[in-house]
Amino acid sequence: MVSVLLVARIDGRMVLDHCDDAPTLGEAVEGLRVHWCEGGEDEPAAFLLADESGRTLASMLQGETDPEVCITTYADGTVERHRCHYVLDADGMYCRTEVTELAAE
């Protein structure tokens, strides 16, 4: 089981808040990417993913200049960058999320 922890600023302090669990690290990462833009530009996204013993497996951060960019860093040092773009229908309603892998910088 992988715990998803939201890193949030509350009353000027950085705190961790448990927000979800997933059976595997892959499912946790995929789920966060699909919902990446839900916080909006005013709430930069930052998450830690930890195993049952509390060991950090990965972190996920929003790109500094582009809120659709998700930067995932795994405990082994591997870094992945993805664009997580919300696609809207003709009425402006959420339809799906397109997740595209980006080249490493």
Q: Does pTM surpass 0.75?
A: yes
How confident is the model at residue 40, as a pLDDT?
59
CA distance 72 to 58: 7
CA distance 67 to 37: 7
CA distance 100 to 82: 5
CA distance 24 to 80: 17
For residue 67, give its domain range: 2-102
Per-residue pLDDT of 27-83, as tens digits, reads: 999 999 998 887 655 666 789 999 999 899 999 998 888 989 999 999 999 999 999
**For the chain, what is the domain count?**
1
Q: Answer yes or no: are the C-beta atoms of 23 and 4 closer than 8 Å.
A: no
pLDDT at 102 over 90: yes
Residue 16 confidence class, pLDDT cut points 50, 70, 90? confident
